[in-house]
Chains A and B, each alone.
Chain A
Amino acid sequence: MSGYASALSGVKVVAELAAADARVVLVSQDFGAIRGFTERFPQRHIDVGISEQTLIGVAAGLAHAGKLPFVLGMAPFVTMRGFEQIRDDCAYNRNDVKFIAPFSGLEAGAWGATHHAIEDIALLRTIPGLTILSPADPAESHRAIRAAATIDGPVYVRLGFLKPIEGYDAPFTAGEIVELRPGNDAAILATGSSVAVALAAHVGLAHDGIAARVLNVHTLKPLDRATIARAARDTGRLVTVEEHFIDGGLGGAVAEILAELGTGRLRRIGVRDRFCTEVAPYPELLRIHGIDAASVVAAVRELVEG
């Protein structure tokens, strides 16, 4: 599901919430009328134009005055241009703004590095009181948005290019990692679109007789330390996968936990410390940057054999 489709699909959930709760408003930037919401709640869809800082400030003010605002904005711009507004206006001032942020990771593809969001987790992870959700498939994105409405405090719902994961309908509990596949030889921790990559790697590894546990880290903050510690103790070998820089994101966060635990070896799959400047469609960019099942399989094998 493309970023645009993710946005529309997310707003459908916001419309459901709006029908049940008069406080719900949708705040967007240069999105125009959004089918399923604007015609039903014309007064409650506020579009501020191309201005991320105002977008977030206005949402914080709406929240302060009793509304429950859902902000729809592209992940790279909302988190980088609007970082201080998320930090000060929402988190520090305790205004419950919910962010729906499509186009995370490399999804913007050939639009170039300005449109990639591969540092949003690293940035937002530093903000006290902010919850970061990163659902793995379209249905889970709906569950995450519904959860966001009930979570105390601001929430960032990170939406990547998500495809349905067959048979996956686990209840969504923010802060709790979901085990998608069992395994004690290694554990693959993935978030968002990379969960599908981890599941494909699991199949590849199973052919070689390696049982890799697959963990869906749908909440990056607060991070489920207990489940990560258990995976480290049970398997001793962890691999993280994310459409994000390996520093500061899921890989960085898991590295911090393992260092404190003093157990478990780690390989991190994600974007290395460089801009993604290659011109190519999105799926090819993922391959170029090694965010694919083959890279995960190789990393797990290296740990198992090493």
Chain B
Amino acid sequence: MIRTHVLICGGTGCTSSNSPAIRAAMEKEIAAKGLEEEVKVVQTGCFGLCALGPIMIVYPDGTFYSRVTEADVPEIVEEHLLKGRPVQRLVYNDTGDEKKVDGPVSLSETGFYKKQMRLALRNCGVIYPVVIDEYIVMDGYAALGKVLTEMTPEGSY
């Protein structure tokens, strides 16, 4: 049973900073540790922080890793995915405040995202864009469905 999702950015920026190789290394390492039934690797679209790529986010804890390299993968698997200790030196936790936090912060708490309210892009970096069902879970097509079935051209119900 899957207990952890490892989201690896597959956007253009991160692809050019080597995320496909990291994804492959991650899948290999997970298999080597016998964690295939517990950990799933998900490719996502651009998170929006390409300069910090390649980006990786681990759920359910939401740990945000930046500038990950292939060489970091075994350590992430052994320490974080197996033993539950995020690899601190890769954790991005700049909240934009003067006071530094230690330990992971979620994406929405980082200085870059804190003041943003993403609408059209809110699923970007959360779902695997190639699987339409993942979009539907995030209420995809719900508005269109409502328009077509419940509303009138005048805009009333």
Are A and B bound to each other? no
